[in-house]
Amino acid sequence: MSVANNSNKERVFIFDTTLRDGEQSPGATMTLEEKLQVAEALDDMGVDIIEAGFPIASNGDFEAVVAVAKQVKKARVAGLARAITADIDRAGEAVRHAQQGRIHTFVSTSPIHLAHQMKKTEDEVIEIIARTVAQARNLVDDVEWSAMDATRTPLEFLKRCVDTAIKAGATTINLPDTVGYAVPEEHFRMFKTIIESVPNADKAIFSVHCHDDLGMAVANSLAGVAGGARQIECTINGLGERAGNAALEEVVMALRTRGDAMPFYTDIETTQLSRASRIVSAASNFPVQYNKAIVGKNAFAHESGIHQDGMLKNAETYEIMTPASVGIKETTLVMGKHSGRAAFKDKLKELGYELGDNAFQEAFQRFKDLADRKKHVYDADIVALVDDEVGSVGDRIKLVDMEVVSKTGGTHKCSITLSVDGVESAVTYEGTGSVDAIFNAIKEGVGQNPHLVLYAIDGVTGGTDAQASAHVRLEMNGRIASGNAAEPDTLVASARAYLNALNRVMIERGAAAQGALAG
């Protein structure tokens, strides 16, 4: 537990929806293996409820929820369901494999949703809530009900909905700020009013689920807790639709750091926050912004002379929490090309990784190759190497060989050999620059023409021999996917990142039920 003395504080439960709402971010699709890795990290960290997916959306989503439910040892596992009989049955079937399963069902309640999306009257919605919550409660003991777009719903109708849901068997009531519309003061008042006005409110735990469209998701979440909510729904790195969700690491560290102002605690082991952030960033292929609170690369960096002077005298002058409290260590020189398997395995364990035999052997070989090419190998290099390896598992299209010829004011040409499902083919193509030639050659070799949404390069560490971390986002046939890769050679990193994104965007994913999701 992160806080030493919680005897005078109330517990707040952490509901993580990275695998459901977070994965709805365009381009953030995760493979089953990546979802299981994220779920394991969340469970190890002490997350109370893991929302593993939306079982009715596709067979892949269903199988992912089942797999997470079977793997997770401590947390409750939730599956999302619309207020539709088939959705609820499918969610119940998926979470029955968990030691503690939850069905999370939702229905719209705001006038704008009822008029344009639901096309239902208030009385019809009340009937739907009573019927579907009761159905869910007959399948599991733990039922969460959400009022989609609660913050734009008239309070009197919201009271009726909450009362109906609790009477029908809901054990958790979620009042989400689905479109990120609320401000903290009114969010506080909404929870306080509903909890004080609904006669049987004490029979359920109230929950906040805030989106960050106006940059107030964390503030609104904490205001909701002050108003009586005792569950926060959030995601690692704030991943989520549009501008994202409340960031788990931010709400947890806010409660831990400002316990004087907010007398609440969570059971999250905060020293694992940085590791969870890295795992989710690698799995989703969404890099964390440098100035991201708590887990960003600059979160504990100080460049100003005044700041540096204060830090040297006393770290508390400019740091309200320690890097170690969230699992961030100084970048340290570790090993070289003569380091053996045992030393590498110990270093991986220190960095929070436990790999299977095959994955370890592949990572070790890449480490040795890197050590041959790079003078100094740092912790950050190994993190990038392993995350890159995990993110490329199962890729159908792989880079075999590449040669790039560039000339100032002249031709830029890429000759590339690709392996597609084990069959190699070679192609040469020109471009306006080296990277353009590489991407054109890949498109020609694969026979696909995705739209390049984003391309960025970052240095993993300092120095001219630093690994380049490349980020690519592609769009094709209405699907968006992101890819990352880390290599000492910037052009090779760019090619591998493009291929990683292309592999993902070509994965068929059912999306039949993804048009109307809670939160």
Residue 307 marked ligand-binding:
no
The DSSP symbol for 56 reads T
Q: In a 10 Å sphere around its CB, with 0-12 CB exposed, 13-18 middle and 19+ buried, how is residue 340 labelled?
A: exposed
Q: Please check whether residue 191 is in contact with residue 229, taking contact to mean a CB–CB distance below 8 angstroms.
A: yes
5 marked as part of a ligand binding site: no
Q: Which of 297, 294, 318 is nearest to 308 (CA)?
A: 318
Longest dimension (CA), the chain: 77
Would you say 440 is a known binding-site residue? no
The three-state secondary structure class of 10 is strand
Instruction: Residue count of the chain, please give it.
Output: 519
Task: Give the closest residue to 390 by CA, choosing from 474, 285, 239, 271.
Answer: 285
H or E segment to which residue 451 belongs: strand 451-459
**Which segments within 325-383 are labelled E, that is strand?**
333-335, 377-378
Cα gap 361→365, rounded to integer Å: 6
Q: Is 211 annotated as a binding residue?
A: yes
Residue type, 284: S
Give the per-residue SS3 of 194-242. HHHHCCCHHHCEEEEEEECCCCCHHHHHHHHHHCCCCEEEEEHHHCCCC
Q: Binding site membership for Mn(2+): which residues?
A: 21, 209, 211, 245
Which residues sit in the known binding site? 21, 209, 211, 245
